[in-house]
Amino acid sequence: MSRIGKLPIEIPAGVKVTVSDANLVTVKGPKGELSQLVDRDIKVAVEENVLHVTRPTDQQRHRSLHGLYRSLINNMVVGVSNGYEVKMELVGVGYRAEAQGQVVDLVLGYSHHTYLQLPNEVKIETVTDKRSNPIITLRSCDKQLIGQVSAKIRSLRKPEPYKGKGIKFVGEQLRRKAGKSAGVK
């Protein structure tokens, strides 16, 4: 058995999980509603407050799908009950971020402002304090979507290895390079 796939998923109070005949798993909770279409070979069963994912055989394909769908369903359950949060930091002189509804206005050292339209499922908050770097906070119940949005924001100005300027995740350790050595013979 897959080590991840065989683990049961505990369903917290306030979360409702339904499985349709077409293997469509729908999870509803206080933070939102998510659904995932599961491969027809993988079986999903809900018993009281526990969800089990099983596979028919030990084929390589079934083993890989077993762990995959168990992780995806677990991420949906955690997302609709607790939600996900990603914090990003803008490091650089003059770098700014400002949220206007679902549009983010970023000043990243280019000759122009960069505007990014966010999906409705993602909520954004920007904080700019004096003498500290601006912080962007993203919140959503969908782990995949929030990861994709944060990767897109980071790709606008990746942290460079010499001074560390750019957009990085809060708490991320960057590998720094030494730079040019003076007087090497």
pLDDT value at 7 more than 70 = yes
Rounded CA-CA distance 29/7 in Å is 21
The pLDDT, as a whole number, for residue 2 is 67
**DSSP secondary structure string for all residues of 85-154:** EEEEEEESTT-EEEEETTEEEEE-SSSS-EEEEPPTT-EEEEE--TTS--EEEEEES-HHHHHHHHHHHH
The pLDDT, as a whole number, for residue 184 is 57
Q: Which whole number is the average pLDDT over 137-152?
A: 96
Cβ–Cβ under 8 Å, residues 1 and 51: no
Cβ–Cβ under 8 Å, residues 113 and 94: no
Q: How far apart are the first and last CA of the chain?
A: 60
pLDDT tens profile 81-139: 999 999 999 999 999 999 999 999 999 999 999 999 999 999 999 999 988 999 999 99
pLDDT value at 146 more than 90 = yes
The pLDDT, as a whole number, for residue 37 is 96
For domain 9-81, give its CATH number from 3.40.50.300, 3.30.60.50, 3.90.930.12, 3.10.110.10: 3.90.930.12
pLDDT value at 183 more than 60 = no
pLDDT tens profile 25-62: 999 999 999 999 999 999 999 998 999 999 999 999 99
The pLDDT, as a whole number, for residue 178 is 87
The pLDDT, as a whole number, for residue 179 is 84
Residue 180 pLDDT class (50, 70, 90 cuts): confident
CB atoms within 10 A of CB 74: 18
Residue partners of 137: CB distance under 8 A and separation at least 6: 85, 86, 87, 88, 124, 125, 126, 127
Topology of domain 84-169 in CATH is Outer Surface Protein A; domain 3 (3.90.930)
Boundaries of every domain in the chain:
9-81, 84-169
Residue partners of 93: CB distance under 8 A and separation at least 6: none
The pLDDT, as a whole number, for residue 185 is 59
Are both 9-81 and 84-169 of the same fold?
yes
Which pTM value belongs to this model?
0.88
